[in-house]
Structure 1
Amino acid sequence: MNDLQREVDRIVMEFGGYWKPFEMLAALVEETGELADELLKVEGVKGPGDRNRLKEELGDVAFALACIANYYGVDLMDALRETIEKYRERDRERWISV
């Protein structure tokens, strides 16, 4: 677990522990919806947007994701590194200019 995940863990434990997995998933989906709403605003599709609010929503999604990762003992930084490598290999040809 990386430092940020440990910090999330400390806060969650101060508040009484982790929710059930599907409750955490629901929280992640809710936060993702709020992120989508703010992104639409920032892009001018839906009213005025605020980049600080966008940053806040990204943080909320990251927090919810960290809760799920912590519950299952997954280091998010390791998972992200592996995903970056997966995209690097799998999509190498996709990004080459013609």
Structure 2
Amino acid sequence: MNEHQEKVDRLVREFGGYWGPFEMLAALMEEVGELADELLKVEGVKGAGEKERLEEEIGDVVFALACIANYYGVDLLNALEKSVNKYQVRDKNRWGEPDEDIEG
């Protein structure tokens, strides 16, 4: 477990422990919905949004994922690394040029 997952683990245990798998999945889905709502605002589709709120919602999604990963003993950074490697091989010719609006 990486250091960020350990922080999540300590906090969750301090609050009484992990929820069941389906409750954690529901929490993740709720956070993804809030992220979608904020993204729509930032992109001007639904009112006005702020990058700080978008960052907060991304953090909430990662927190919810960390809870699920911790529950099942999955290292998030290792899982991400495997996904990056998978996309590098599988999708190397699939995507076009990077979006110029993305800040690096």
- The two structures have a TM-score, normalised by structure 1, of 0.96
1:53 matched to 2:53? The reply is yes
Whole-Å separation in 2 of the counterparts to 1:49 and 1:93? 33
Deviation per CA, 1:52-96: give whole Å up to 9, x if none. Answer: 000000000000000000000000000000000000000112136
Correspondence 1:1-98 to 2 at 5 A: 1-95=1-95
Structure 1 gap segments, 5+ residues each: none
Whole-Å separation in 1 of the counterparts to 2:29 and 2:8? 18
- Which has a greater percent of helix? 1
Whole-Å separation in 1 of the counterparts to 2:44 and 2:96? 30
Deviation per CA, 1:3-56: give whole Å up to 9, x if none. Answer: 000000000000000000000000000000000000000000000111100000
- The two structures have a TM-score, normalised by structure 2, of 0.90
- The equivalent of 2:102 in structure 1 is none
Code of the aligned partner of 1:74: V
Q: How many residues align?
A: 97
- Give the root-mean-square deviation of aligned CA atoms: 1.0
